[in-house]
Every structure is written in C-alpha cells, then in structure tokens.
Amino acid sequence: MRGKTLLFVMLSCLSIMLLSGCTNSTAAQGQDPANVKVELATDPTMMKAGEQGKLIAAITGMVLADDAQVAFDIRKPDNKGLPEIINAEAAGGGKFSAAKTFDQPGTYTVYIHLYQDDLHVTKLKKLEVQ
C-alpha cells in the first residue's frame, strides 16, 4: 500500500510540474484583455455594394504573437441568415485585412475576433456600406 501511495504522489508532482511548465497563456504573459483596442477601417474609405474592398482591423493594447489570428464575423443589415466569417491575413504592425464584396447597402454589424494562445477577444463594430 505504501508503494502505491508513493507512486501516486510522484505522478501527481510530475503532472503538476509538467502543466505549470507548459503554460503559455496570454494571461501568464501579463497581458490584460481589457487593454485590447480594435479599430475597423476599410479600403476604400467608403465601401460600396457590389464593389470589392478591404476590411482592416488595427489592434493595439497587447503584444501580438506571430500566430495571432483575426476573423471578421459579418452580420447583414436585416440580421437574417447566418453570419459570414472571413479569416484575415496579417498585414504587419498589428493590422489584419481581408477582401470583401458586400452584396447590398446598409449598416452591417461586424464582430472582430482576435485569437492568441488561450485568449479570445471580440469587439463589435458597425460598418456603413453605400
């Protein structure tokens, strides 16, 4: 019985050491999600229905890792149907962009999702399309 207890204690300690040594979370790096700011811009400045443009998310308030990912979650003005999810490409300097052609004019709701390590930040923005 004593051998089983010793084995259990040793395995428990090993597990704790492995888990604490492998943690690579954003929180562990001292970054506060409350400080994250996201601005939404477009190119051209005024998007027009039927014409391709670019969505640009500029992220500040945290150190971005090389593997950070951004997705645009786009909701139609009438809020009907499923949202369209577009994965953005890193453009450097905390900016991420994706090409998009809007099919109709109106005010779209855009949720910008930032994923880094175990952090997921979502910011809501409105976008007017003519």
Structure confidence by residue, pLDDT tens digits, 47-98 = 999 999 999 999 999 999 999 999 999 999 998 999 999 999 999 999 999 9
Residue 20 placed within a domain: no
Beta strands in 22-77 (DSSP E): 37-43, 52-60, 69-75
Residue 106 placed within a domain: yes
Residue 123 placed within a domain: yes
- What CATH number has the domain bearing residue 85? 2.60.40.10
Residue 28 placed within a domain: no
Task: Give the pTM.
Answer: 0.76
Residue 57's identity, in one-letter code, is A
Residue 64 placed within a domain: yes
| Sheet of 95-101, strands arranged across | 37-43, 52-60, 95-101, 89-92
Domain that holds residue 105: 35-129
Residue 77's identity, in one-letter code, is P
Strand partners, 54: 43, 99
Residue 57 placed within a domain: yes
Domain count, the chain: 1
For 93-123, how does the pLDDT look when each residue is reduced to its tens digit (9 = 90+)?
999 999 999 999 999 999 999 999 889 999 9
Residue 117 placed within a domain: yes
Q: How many residues does the chain have?
A: 130
